[in-house]
Amino acid sequence: MFSAEFAFSMLSRSTVSYLSGLLIDLGVSVRTVAMGTGAVVLLPFLAWALALRLWRAGGDSATQPDSEIRRARR
């Protein structure tokens, strides 16, 4: 499992590096490429935040990710 995660990470990193170099060679400013890369990286974060919000908003407290921690503190 860890090797698959590592392979996906390296594939993603090499793809972004290649595309960034290509865009810079085509005349796009480095600042624009960096801002675009940062914006794309925010997409998975926003999806994760939305998923957590929807998960916590849903019904039973036993399905909450931190319900065990809350019970232990009481």
Does a structural domain hold residue 28? yes
pLDDT digits (tens, 9 = 90+) for 30-57: 999 999 999 998 998 999 999 999 988 8
- What b/e readout covers 21-52, taking b as 16+ CB neighbours within 10 angstroms? eebeeeeeeeeebeeeeeeeeeeeeeeeeeee
pLDDT of residue 56: 85
Does a structural domain hold residue 72? no
Does a structural domain hold residue 71? no
Does a structural domain hold residue 38? yes
Mean pLDDT of the chain: 86
pLDDT at 6 over 80: yes
Measured at the CA of 19, the angle between CA 17 and CA 20, to 5 degrees, comes to 65
Count of the separate structural domains present in the chain: 1
Range of 56's domain?
2-61
